[in-house]
Amino acid sequence: MPRRRILVLSLGGTITMLPSSGGGIAPSLGAEDLVKAVPALADVADVEAHSPFRLPSPSLSPAGLVEVARQIETAFDRGCAGAVVVQGTDTIEESAFLLDLLVSHEQPVVLTGAMRGADAPGADGPANLLAAVRTAASEEARGLGTLVVLNYDIHAARFVQKSHSALPSAFASPLVGPIGAVVEGRPRIYVRLPRLGGLRSYGGPPLPIALLRWAMGEDGRLLDALPRLGYAGAVVEGMGAGHVPAEVAPLLGGLAAHMPVVLATRCQAGPVFTRTYGYAGGEIDLIGRGLIPAGILSGPKARLLLGLALRKGCGQAAAAAAFAPYQ
């Protein structure tokens, strides 16, 4: 049986960082350096390593991830059995969700990184990279879309979140938990999720979408400015199950008359409600004013989905259809 070929793309992040002359750590290592540091990878697959970027993850852009999606699709079309994307953990949940939407192939796409720099005692990067490649090369991971593998946990892109700023166990999927784990060197998938509809990479990067998190006392004075600032839409992280102060509801309705507005929750987990609270500013009132419920998606992920759905001049109907599978 021929050995499987796995594409490894390094975008930068803590896993690649070493001490810099300016103090602290900064991206330094490339994909080939990372692969050479883990000799056991040679026992798993033939690894093809490239470094499209060498950036801390806050500097990654959706447009850059669209290009990464195209590189992965090209590699899959020429026979790669899976792909691993290495990047910083700050935005790994957003990158994973974008790739889950954009890459529709059956081959696994696995994101990984590290919470400790490459020269730190107990650096977790090598173990995470080995676990990610083992997952990407496995038959078990086929058909699951994009996954995130860190600290031996396997997470689905639509659920995973960074939940701690420092610990190696920083990643969680609060709504469902990990769908599997890498145990004794083998990926074990405990839950198989259905693939949801995607949005192909050839449509270009997401359009600019404003993301607003609502807090007590916020009066909505920013809302009138959004259309003038060039945003194509907005995502509002409401309180609780999707609520805002009563006086803000008409302002959001007015904004929804000019651009698609998605209603998410600022809570870490749980869906936006659609038919429980009927008071002014409750979710029934807001949906009646034209807001689109985000379902189970967090605000940052809803922002990416809305930006992709509105490409090529699409509007409210396309946005609502894009969020329907997540209700």
Q: Known binding site for substrate: residues?
A: 57, 89-90
Of the candidates 134, 34, 136, 48, the one whose C-alpha atom is nearest the C-alpha of residue 84 is 136
Helices 299-309 and 316-323 cross at an angle (nearest 10°) of: 130
Write out the two tokens for 311.
Answer: 């490409």
- Helix (H), strand (E) counts: the chain: 8, 16
Helices 62-77 and 92-102 cross at an angle (nearest 10°) of: 50
Residue 16: active-site member: no
The binding site consists of 57, 89-90
Of 14, 16, 112, 146, the catalytic one is 14
Task: Enumerate residues 6+ apart whose C-beta is below 8 A from 141.
Answer: 82, 108, 110, 135, 147, 154, 187, 189
d(CA 70, CA 67): 5
d(CA 159, CA 175): 7
Question: What is the longest distance spanned by two Cα atoms in the chain?
Answer: 66
User: 37: how many CB neighbours lie within 10 A of its CB?
Assistant: 14
d(CA 97, CA 206): 13
Write out the two tokens for 249.
Answer: 């509801």
Strands (E), 257-315: 261-265, 292-293
- Residues serving a catalytic function are 14
